[in-house]
Chains A and B, each alone.
Chain A
Amino acid sequence: MGGLVYYSSTSENTHRFVGKLGCDATRLPVDAASAPPEVSAPYVLVLPTYGGVHGKGAVPRPVIRFLNIEANRRLIRGVIAAGNTNFGTAYCLAGDIVAGKCAVPLLYRFELLGTDEDVANVRKGLDLFWTRSF
């Protein structure tokens, strides 16, 4: 069973979603200046998109800093993205960008805090995903 790493801004939306999943998770520092953690086991990354023009600034800076560490990048297995369909083509864009850059699948997308249905889908999906991966 792998772990979760996530970024949530002070809005706490993604933090709340991850909390509802009820599994161990590492939160990336909100402050871009803090040193990113180094992980030692395979993980799925959960991150939000707040819109953004043509992809610029879509990936939160602490996530970039975390993934710029080669050891962290080597252990990423998939991405779960949060967003808002109001952002049109930029919906969950940061998830697409990270999945593309790291050549891992975008596993799931949800809006804002996620609904109970999203929580159930992700729990079930992650169980299956890790069973298949090991």
Chain B
Amino acid sequence: MEPSPSILKCKPMNVHVKPLSRIRAINWNRIQDDKDLDVWNRLTSNFWLPEKVPLSNDIPSWATLTPAEQQLTIRVFTGLTLLDTIQNGIGAVRLMDDAATPHEEAVLSNIAFMEAVHARSYSSIFSTLCLTPDVDDAYRWSEENTFLQRKAHLILEQYDSGDPLKKKIASVFLESFLFYSGFYLPMYWSSRAKLTNTADLIRLIIKDEAVHGYYIGYKFQRAIERLSEERKQEIKDFAFDLLLELYDNEIRYTEELYDGVGLSEDVKKFLHYNANKALMNLGYEALFPPEACKVNAAILSALSPNADENHDFFSGSGSSYVIGKAIATEDEDWDF
């Protein structure tokens, strides 16, 4: 394109450039925090898209659910979509403002994008399995449901607070706790051999969320390590208060969704178990006692097939344990 005549007529000006603060290009060969590179590598090697999962194989299984079960499933997935939408557009983006390194900012941009992939995945499930009017109803429900809206508002309030520590705490609670009232259901269906491809997709999301919660929790711990003991205690009190506020709401959300199918009490154990893990990601001790966290074995096994206790020498009967089942690794220098 030819430059416009007005530009051509301009004489070169003696522009006085005001010295601004320097803007730095990211250098991945000068890492301040090795965790940034580790997590970047982990997340990029985990990259996936919903198209890789053959969701249409679940069409016959979907037809075996009762209308109430179908409605519950669509609502649960709409609730999850809402959280992913927040994390994609607001949560991860607000965390970037406080990034301690340029690499942290880059990792957060990966997290933001994957949250968009997660949100997009639920729409893939809907378009493959569900009728449009049913999905539209669920979206309307998500906008009107008091507990879902309250959960979103409680998180957004922290994201808007401008406080880097509170933002990280809220983000870890979202990633490591609030998703689980929803994740329970596909694990439940999978344990009954239903919607197994959908469950495979959800497992990909669950893996991503584990890394997100771990990483943001790690950055939180780095951010508080130099604070006074008094300030640390204030932050800890804030975190536990927020968790309990979210927990009270989550219990009511769970009851509203799952009472009808008689699963509320089972879901609550899963919530306790994950609330403890969320606290641990922040470096805090578990809050809920072991008996409140005994997750249904079928759900745990749907999540992690080899997580049963008998696998361990200390906690299992020991009799079924076989020593020395060699597993190949691809690490070149792992040759004894």
Instruction: Across the interface, name the chain A residue whose C-beta is closest to B323.
Output: A105
Q: Does A26 contact B (CB under 8 A)?
A: no
Contact of A88 among B207, B281, B325 (CB under 8 A): B207
Given contacts A113-B280, A121-B314, contact A100 B327 (CB under 8 A): yes
CB of A8 to closest CB in B, whole Å: 12
Q: Is the CB of A111 within 8 A of B277?
A: yes
Smallest distance from the beta carbon of B104 to chain A beta carbons, Å?
13
Give the total of B residues in contact with A, Cβ under 8 Å: 49
Given A100-B326, A115-B286: A108 touches B315 (CB 8 Å cut-off): yes
Contact with B along A32-60 (1 / 0, CB 8 A): 00000000000000000011111111110
Docked-complex contact B46 and A53, CB < 8 angstroms: yes
Q: List 5 A-B contacts (CB under 8 A).
A: A9-B35, A13-B280, A97-B329, A106-B321, A115-B276
For A87, what are the chain B residues with a Cβ–Cβ distance below 8 Å? 207, 210, 304
Q: Are A51 and B211 in contact (CB under 8 A)?
A: yes
CA distance A67 to B313 in the complex (A): 22
Chain A residues with Cβ under 8 A from B324's Cβ?
A: 99-100, 103-104
Residues of B within 8 A of A12 (CB): 221, 283
Could you say which residues of chain A place their CB within 8 Å of the CB of B307? 85, 91, 109
Q: Which residue of A lies closest to B209 (CB)?
A: A86
Q: By the criterion CB–CB under 8 Å, are A84 and B311 in contact? A: no
The answer for the CA separation of A88 and B45 in the assembled complex, in Å, is 16
User: What is the bound-complex CA distance between A30 and B333, given in angstroms?
Assistant: 18
Of chain A, the residue at the smallest CB distance from B274 is: A86
Instruction: Say if the beta carbon of B206 comes within 8 Å of chain A.
Output: yes
Q: Which chain B residues have a beta carbon within 8 Å of chain A's beta carbons? A: 33-35, 38, 42, 45-46, 203, 206-207, 209-211, 214, 218, 221, 276-277, 280-281, 283, 285-286, 290, 300, 303-307, 311-315, 321, 323-331, 333-336
Do residues A122 and B314 form an inter-chain contact, with CB atoms below 8 A?
Answer: yes
The distance in angstroms between the C-alpha atoms of A85 and B307, with both chains bound, is: 7
Closest to A67 in B: B336
Task: Report A-chain residues with C-beta under 8 Å of the C-beta of B214.
Answer: 11, 50, 84
**Known contacts A58-B329, A107-B312, A117-B290; A10/B35 CB under 8 A:** yes
For chain B, what secondary structure do more than half of its interface residues adopt (helix, strand, loop), or is it mixed? loop
List A108-134 residues whose CB lies under 8 Å from chain B. Answer: 108-109, 111-113, 115-117, 121-122, 124-125, 129
Chain A hits for B33, CB < 8 A: 10
Residues of B within 8 A of A99 (CB): 323-324
Docked complex Cα distance between A100 and B334 (Å): 12
| B313 in contact with A78 (CB, 8 Å) | yes
Q: Which of A78, A85, A99, A100 is the most central at the interface, judged by chain B CB atoms within 10 Å of its CB?
A: A85
Among candidates A85, A101, A107, residue contacting B336 with C-beta atoms closer than 8 Å: A101
Q: How far is the CA of A68 from the CA of B210 in the complex (A)?
A: 30
Closest Cβ of chain B to A132, distance in Å, is 11
Q: How far is the CB of B185 from chain A (nearest CB, A)?
A: 16
Q: A113 — nearest CB in chain B belongs to which residue?
A: B280
CA distance A51 to B214 in the complex (A): 11
Q: Select which of A50, A59, A89, A109 is within 8 A of B329 by beta carbon.
A: A59
The smallest C-beta distance from A80 to any residue of chain B, in angstroms, reads 8
The answer to the question of A64 belonging to the interface, with a C-beta cut-off of 8 Å to chain B, is yes
Asked whether, in the complex, the Cβ of B210 is within 8 Å of the Cβ of A51, the reply is yes
| B206 neighbours in A (Cβ, 8 Å) | 86, 88
Bound: A34/B324 CA distance, A? 29
Give A122's nearest chain B residue, CB to CB: B314
Contact residues in B for A106 (Cβ distance below 8 Å): 311-313, 321
Given A84-B214, A115-B276, A109:B312 Cβ within 8 A = yes
* A108 touching B304, Cβ below 8 Å: no
Nearest-CB distance from B108 to chain A (Å)?
17
Q: Report Cα–Cα, A38/B221, bound state, in Å.
A: 31
Least CB distance from B203 to A in Å reads 6
